[in-house]
Structure 1
Amino acid sequence: MIRKSFNEGWTVAPKKTLYAVLAGGAPSRPVRLPHDGMRDLDRDPASPSGSRSGYFPSAHLAYEKTFDVPAEWRDKTVAVEFEGVYRDAMVYVNGDFTAQRPNGYSPFSLTLDPFLRFGQRNVIRVELRAHDDSRWYTGAGIYRNTWLGVADPVHIPFGGVQVRTSDIERDLAVAAVHVEVANPLRHAVTVRVHSEIRDAAGRSTSRSSIPLTVLPGEPAIARLRHYVTHPQLWDVDEPSLYSVQAVVTDENGAQLDEAAATFGFRTVQVDPVNGLRLNGRTVKLRGGCVHHDHGPLGAAAIDRAEYRRAEILKAAGFNAVRSGHNTISPAFLDACDRVGLLVMDEFADVWTESKTSHDAALTFPEWWERDIEAMIRKDFNHPSVIMYSIGNEILEVGRPLGSAWGRRIADKVRSLDSSRLVTNAVNGLLAATDLLLGTSPTDEPFDINVILSKDGVSAFGASELVTRRTEETHSQADVCGINYSEARYSLDAQLFPERILVGSETFPGALDVLWELVEKHPQVIGDFAWTAWDHLGEAGVGRPVYADDADQPTGLVSPYPWLLSGAGTIDITGRRRPISYWRETVWGLRTEPYIAVHRPQFHGRQVRLTAWSWDDALESWNWAVAPGSPIVVDVYSDADEVELHLNERLLGKASVGAVRSCIARFETAYEPGTLTAVAYRDGLEVGRASLRSGQGDLRLVASIDRDRIAADGTDLAYVEIAIADESGTVANEVEALVSLRVDGAAELVGFASARPDNTEPFGSDAHTTYEGRVLAILRPTRPGRILLTAEADDLPSTSVSVTAVAEG
């Protein structure tokens, strides 16, 4: 079925009761999809989800779209596909109930034919709600792409083309193209199904066609076998993609329908000797977990936002991502295919036991099979997807009947896609929740205060009790997902030498210890830090807490107005934080030293870091403190030792690793000027880096990611605005309210800083800088020139332009 975007022309309004509508109506406003209707709601300290959602409120929204249905469509099949509606979607066409989907992350499609009024205007309405249903910010809305398809009754349904690759050799590979054909007519039809494979350059590499008889009401699958010579393999370094075009014709050769798909040739193998092999080459997964929100955009999964995130993650040294808690968007999978990121796509955060009051456990027993089918259908052709995670820290996995659920889910996945690995992200501590709650009649009690320490969680995860309780669950997986229990790596090498392990969720600042274990044990195939990208909700879990802070957290719960997790190695605007450069150094990907300076205004104050925190430091030598103030300077390096120079004066030399792996630490005094770190290995200089203080007048500086963008609804322009001097040194301690004006063919769809406890809304046209910076996001409304002007009190204004171009 040929898809056309169905993203334009929608409105959204708070869902009102009939009586409220009669009393005064419900105001609506126009929106373009993908859209998050929760992002612009007022945050509330009394929100039922509290810090878990970043203090965003519950939402009950109604989206509507009016569209023309030509009379000639009466003899067609008309369908709509939603890639994601959060949550408990109810769909109505012309006022009549049409479909529902409880899971907010599952794509679903529906045939509109019985509900349409042909030759008239029609109305589709989608109602949804979100209320205390997750441990993170979810958003609420039609937040992923929507598609309309119109085809002859005999047609290829959405997702009806799947490509199975096999027998991949240097000179030849097999691509079995499976084309599903639906027939809603009252009689059988015989059609001919054609398929053609093209390489990345658009050259045809293989063609095939076969006849197919399709019975009424019974979809049939045409299986066309292609042989591709000298296949270009998809790999993280060279992500080569192929496309397939499928066409259905009638007995006279007239075209009935067509559909296309993208795929790649690659092999994935695991064993305890070689670990994970991609195309025969052992690869260790340098992974990070990601949430589905996009910070300033909320949960809206606009194509460019997904691609930009994949680009930045890859540039920061990641070669793999795990979709924390839920299945990933098709747009992000497309981006991972193109950029070269390996994907662990996660199915669910709960099965049958709830973690919050109104979460997905309420509908899981009835809907889980359909949700699995939707995930596999979505992922099947993406070469980036190498592994399915069937759950994250599922509470049932430590009990026999919970393990039985795991077996059902794993078997269902394998029945639909036997080509990919299956894992389950198991937290050994949560596998003993009945012990935590004191409801276990068999196991011995334990000291919870000891276990909840950073080292205690890992040690408990390697205990005999957890070993026994999780053995059946781990036996169901091809790869055993280990959350926060690296103590299992060496243990399982002895107890279960056949096991393949992956650190499915780990503390980001522990990478030096973790990566040594990953490289030591071939059966440990990689590490996924929590998290690679900062996110909304789970507010403050990664914040450094100073003893005299006025807003002390309770456990890991930070009070309002905390908004962000603070655990990401990349912040919500897409800037790499210092920990990102340290991790890149530990991975062995970076030789240039990186200078991270602890904030001098907090020097000497007692600080408590959570297990997800990193040092409160910045890449800056531009501080509003008096000369001579004490200051701590860290230099991240893989060298033996580092010299630190200030204004060409040697301050000292420090060994790398004395305080922490890949770090040389200096205690010195602040003095404006130029700070230079020089790294040495075996007495020879291997790299240097410098920071300088600001000089002269400050101004606003704007930079845009590209000067031409597409005006097709899928693209965005990202504009970074900083307060800096003439040489570009950012005044990271200067806060200024920046106001924006957008002229021309675009709208401002997001404006934010990376401040973790911000109260300024993302939908505003004014925002205060944090660490000297803000980020603006523009979305084209039509082809043409776009001009953004930024202003702030006592600073010269600045402008930047971009051109939005039509397709083709």
Structure 2
Amino acid sequence: MMHRTFCLFFGLLGLVAPTASCFAQTVPRQKTLFDNDWKFHFGHAADPQQDFDFTVANIFSKSGKAVGTAIDPRFADSTWQTLQLPHDWAVQLPFVEVDNFDVMAHGYKPVGGLFPETSIGWYRKHFQVARADSGQRFVIEFDGVFRDSQIWLNGFYLGNHPSGYTGVAYDLTDYLRYGEANVLVVRVDATQYEGWFYEGAGIYRHVWLHQYDPLHIPLHGVFVHAKVEGPQAIVTVEASVENETDTPVEGTVAAYLLDRDGKRLAESKADFSALPAHDTQTVVQHLTLPTPHLWSLDDPYRYRMVTEIQRNNKVVDRVETRFGVRTIEITPDRGMFLNGQHVMLQGVNCHQDHAGVGSAVPDALQYYRIRLLKEMGVNAYRASHNPPTPELLDACDSLGMLVMDENRLLNSSPAYLQQLEDLIVRDRNHPSVFMWSIGNEEPSQTSAIGRRIAQTLLQKQRELDPTRTSTYAADLANVYKGINEVIPVRGFNYRHEGVAPYHADHPEQPLVGTEMGSTVTTRGIYVVDSIRGYVPDYDSTHPWWSSTAEAWWTEAAAHPYWMGGFIWTGFDYRGEPTPYAWPNINSHFGVMDVCGFPKNIYYYYQSWWTDEDVLHLTPHWNWPGREGQPIKVWVNTNAETVELFLNGKSLGTKTMPRNEHLEWMVPYQPGKLEAVALKDGRKIRKKMETTGAAYRIVLTPDRTTLTPDGRDATVLNVSVQDKKGREVPDAQHLIRFSLDGTGRMLGVGNGDPSSHEPDQCPDGQWQRHLFNGKCQLIVQAGTQPGTFTIGATAEGLKAASVVIQMP
């Protein structure tokens, strides 16, 4: 296929009045969510008969030959499970104790080569396409399948996509049966891991069916970027035009710049002539935006660019692209600037799973997690260590969160170069993405091979997106070899003691902490428990290769050449249990647990990453049987001084050192522990009381109104109170849930890194123990307006309920 580029500059355009014909045409392009009514069944990696004869039937001898297998469109799948995507079958499996490092690292789930009976999944989808649409093009797009997917339509093989993290699309047009039943079949092979952490299994992201005219803009075929020049911005639109007809065509590409309310701000139109049959051209246009409203962390404003193709004065395709206008400046000595304002990166690393749902995270939960991080003071998110789901980036765009978007593997072979290209082309319109990462902690990072691979990847990045730069996450201290010689921004994984000498030796290279801290803590636990695999909830315990939060942040905050850094990690995640193995099934690294409940270290960061009044005491004050014994009390605050009281008696006043914390050893007495802090001449108070016995359940929903689309979801956090309304921090009751109405329960969790309770309860008996006073339920909307009621009961406790509205 031949590619041509037409660069057209239209000068300084003022405000342009809308023209009557712009949006009057009916445009055939459609994007349909393809998540509902899939059939699912396990195959078998070692037994062909249980794998529907996949490896013994000669399905590749003739095109479309699939007789008698699950690939055959006539195959009877009525007994298969019916489900809705996204779907992660691994989260539904029981935990298994196996002495194998990779199984341990993936959270002790029976997925991988040792478990052939639960590592192959088959999906089938039945659908129809109207005969009237037979002149259109149809493309199926999978946002993410873990992993090694093979796909067929009506028995015809579409292709294979090994990656579990980049999306893939296939043109279905030649194989469709118009006006008749079509069957899409996906075989997912999760016998091989890609990471060393929980990855899930199955079609765990959305699937979309695209329909458009043979003359169209291909998927991700529009790149919008802006350059601020004084009081205005020059917005560049690069639009690919694809002609999938059998004759040359002529036409125009029009670009319309709209504000958030849909008001036309600028427009441009370019001709393309004699676009050959089955060819693609890229049309580049420039529009002038006076007084741009800049995208920022506190005001994440986005514009819309509408790109239309017209042929014979008729609109045949239209694509709408959301984008933001902002400037990023990265310096070697002063850090990073967003829109000319200095920004210290207060970032977190995150894997993509959540309690109850594994990797099949509902869109609403992406927004919930980003809001939790912003409340802590986080302003940057590193997608570790793979391309994120598109909805995560949408959440960061709309809520104001910078993103370091990371490539999966450092490899320049055609397959992996294509993965990098897919990542960049898909994500480069997101204003939240401020930097690319080409890889993480690769064995070849100090070698000449690593350097050459990095140079190839960097060249591809600059070709596809010259508006951003790249880093690489190196677990090396003051080392300037291999990748570090060519990477534009030096990334440090831990080894923060090596940052200062590296900067002194290489003052011209900007640097950022790509992984920092890595304290291990268990929410609500204050002693070492090697039997259950718990570590104290203080900023005190860390692996040999990492540091406490306080150690790295005091260093970074004191030196302007740091861009800041990303904590390992924002949330606990499944797999990679550290420092223990079984019974641990998830990590302890999170500032929050897998449900998003804060640990003590959360308040350290919130103290120094926000301007809010923060005063936090830890631990709780329920210690029966420990009367008279010393309890280590930590205070996190951004006040100047703190005085601590026990039952009204002062235990002394201490000055709060910048970026640190305060400690007291307090002999336990039941009653009230209170801190009184002085900040800017104001008193701030926080108390911790010994509670009575648990009396009632409290359900706290994130939202009580959902869209009745079958996709929207909300989180209900569960706690218990005593008769005086005080939250009981050490309660461990079993909470049972019920749902009355058209919604559905998706998953449960409690943040216990050693809990082996099921995350999903297909038998209908939904329940979860509290872990140190808390657990969580995730529910999803139905498809019809109405209400549903969530109930929560426990033996000996007053029940609770919440009504969810779906107007």
TM-score category of the 2 structures, normalised to the smaller one = 0.7 to 0.9
The CA deviation string for residues 88-121 of structure 1, in whole angstroms up to 9 with x for no partner, is 1111111221022111110121110122112111
Q: Secondary structure at the match of 2:726?
A: coil
Unaligned runs of 5+ in 2: 1-28, 54-69, 71-75, 112-118, 520-547
For 1:518, the equivalent position in structure 2 comes to: 556
Q: Deviations over 1:55-93 (max 9, x none)?
A: 011121112111112222321100111111111111111
Deviates more, 1:315-324 or 1:717-726: 717-726
Per-residue deviation, 1:18:
4.8
Please tell me whether residue 196 in structure 1 is matched to residue 194 in structure 2.
Answer: no
**Partner residue, 1:486:** 496
Equivalent residue, structure 2, for 1:802:
804
Map of 2:109 onto structure 1: 56
SS in 2 for 1:368: helix
> Counterparts in 2 of 1:3-14, with a 5 A limit?
3-14=31-42
Question: What one-letter code is carried by the residue in structure 1 that aligns with 2:576?
Answer: E
Instruction: Report how far residue 677 of structure 1 moved.
Output: 0.4
Aligned twin of 2:60 = none
The 3 A distance-change label for structure 1 pair 473 and 646 is same
> 1:484 is aligned with what amino acid?
Y
Contact kept in structure 2, 1:638 and 1:662, CA below 8 Å? no
Corresponding pairs, count: 712
Partner deviation per Cα, 1:276-318 (whole Å, 9 max, x = no partner): 1111111110011000112221001321111111111111100
What aligned pairs does 1:392-431 form with structure 2 within 5 A after superposition?
392-428=440-476
Partner AA of 2:109 in structure 1:
F
Aligned partners of 2:745 and 2:359: how far apart in 1? 16
Other-structure match for 2:793 = 791
Which of 274, 283, 298 is matched with 1:237 structurally?
298
3-state secondary structure, aligned to 2:466 = coil
Q: Which residue number corresponds to residue 216 of structure 1?
A: 277
Moved more, 267-276 or 399-408: 267-276
Would the aligned equivalents of 2:43 and 2:52 in 1 still touch at CA under 8 Å?
no
Once the two structures are superposed, the pairs formed by residues 620-699 of structure 1 within 5 Å of their partners are 620-656=620-656, 662-680=660-678, 686-695=683-692, 698-699=695-696
Counterpart check, 1:388 vs 2:436: yes
* 1:110 equivalenced with 2:170 (yes/no): yes
Are 2:224 and 2:238, in contact at CA under 8 Å, matched by a contact in 1? yes
C-alpha deviation, 1:22, in angstroms: 6.8
Aligned to 1:324: 384
Tell whether the 8 Å contact from 2:743 to 2:781 is kept in structure 1 after alignment. yes
Within a 5 Å distance, the mapping from 1:457-496 to structure 2 comes to 461-462=477-478, 467=479, 470-496=480-506
Counterpart position of 1:94: 154
Q: Distance in 2 between matches of 1:299 and 1:53?
A: 12
Report the TM-score when normalising by structure 1.
0.85
Q: Deviations over 1:37-59 (max 9, x none)?
A: 11101221127522201101112
Q: Which string of whole-angstrom CA distances, capped at 9 and with x for unpartnered residues, describes residues 211-234 of structure 1? A: 223221111222222111111000
Aligned to 2:402: 342
The aligned counterpart of 1:378 is: 426
Alpha-carbon shift at residue 7 of structure 1 (Å): 1.1
Q: Give 1:734 shift.
A: 2.0
Distance (Å, rounded) in 1 between the aligned partners of 2:706 and 2:772: 28
8 A contact 1:64–1:125 mirrored in 2: yes
Contact 1:595 1:635 in 2 (8 A): yes
Distance, in Å, in 1 between the alignment partners of 2:556 and 2:52 is 63
Correspondent of 2:246 among 153, 167, 186: 186
Once the two structures are TM-superposed, the CA of residue 123 in structure 1 deviates from its matched residue by 0.8
2: distance between equivalents of 1:384 and 1:625?
51
Matches for 1:247-646 after TM superposition, within 5 Å: 247-251=308-312, 253-348=313-408, 350-351=409-410, 365-428=413-476, 461-462=477-478, 467=479, 470-509=480-519, 510-539=548-577, 541=578, 556=579, 558-587=580-609, 589-597=611-619, 620-646=620-646
Q: Judge conservation of contact 1:2–1:258 (CA < 8 Å) in 2.
A: no
Q: Distance in 2 between matches of 1:120 and 1:625?
A: 73
Contact preservation (8 Å) 1:10, 1:63: yes
Q: Is the 8 A contact 1:94 1:115 kept in 2?
A: yes
Deviation at 1:175, TM superposition (A): 1.0
Q: Do the aligned partners of residues 209 and 22 (structure 1) sit closer, same or farther apart at CA in structure 2, a change above 3 Å counting?
A: closer
Distance (whole Å) between structure 1 residues aligned to residue 595 and residue 440 of structure 2: 27
| Cα pair 1:633 1:665 within 8 Å, conserved | yes
2:663 partner letter: R
The residue that corresponds to 1:135 in the other structure is 196
SS at match of 2:582: coil
Structure 1 pair 625–709 and aligned structure 2 pair: CA distance change class (3 A) = farther
Give the C-alpha shift of residue 704 in structure 1. 1.0
C-alpha distance in 2, partners of 1:388/1:686?
Answer: 44
Q: CA RMSD in A?
A: 2.1
The answer to whether the 8 A contact 2:517-2:551 is kept is no
Instruction: Read off the aligned partner of 1:676 and give its amino acid letter.
Output: E
Cα distance in 2 for residues equivalent to 1:697 and 1:92? 56
For residues 659 and 378 of structure 2, the distance between their equivalents in structure 1, rounded to whole angstroms, comes to 19
Q: Could you tell me how far apart the structure 1 residues matched to 2:250 and 2:494 are?
A: 56
After superposition, the Cα gap between the structure-2 partners of 1:762 and 1:34, relative to the gap in structure 1 and judged at 3 Å, is same
Asked if 2 retains the 8 angstrom alpha-carbon contact of 1:272 and 1:522, the reply is no
- Structure 1 residue 650 displacement after superposition: 1.9
Q: What's the offset of the Cα at 1:589?
A: 3.6
Aligned partner of 1:35: which letter?
H
* CA deviation after TM superposition for structure 1 residue 745, in Å: 1.7
Cα distance in 1 for residues equivalent to 2:760 and 2:83: 13
The separation in 1 between residues aligned to 2:314 and 2:549, in whole angstroms, is 59
Contact residue 450 and residue 482 of structure 2 kept, 8 A: no
- Correspondence for 1:32: 84
Unaligned stretches of 5+ in structure 1? 353-363, 429-460, 542-555, 598-619
Cα offset for 1:626? 5.0
1:655, distance to aligned residue in structure 2 (A)? 4.5
Residues 390 and 409 in structure 1, CA contact (< 8 A), matched pair in contact too: yes
Offset, 1:132 = 5.0
2:334–2:562 contact (8 Å) kept in structure 1? no
Quickly say closer, same or farther: Cα 1:728–1:181, change in 2 above 3 A. farther
> Does the residue aligned with 2:188 lie in a helix, a strand or coil?
strand
Structure with bigger helix share is 1
Matched residue SS, 1:307: helix
Question: 1:768-787 maps to which residues of 2 (within 5 A)?
Answer: 768-782=769-783, 783-787=785-789
Amino acid at match of 1:20: Q
Q: Indicate the residue corresponding to 2:98 in structure 1.
A: 46
Correspondence 1:730 to 2:727: yes
TM-aligned CA deviation for residue 195 of structure 1: 2.0
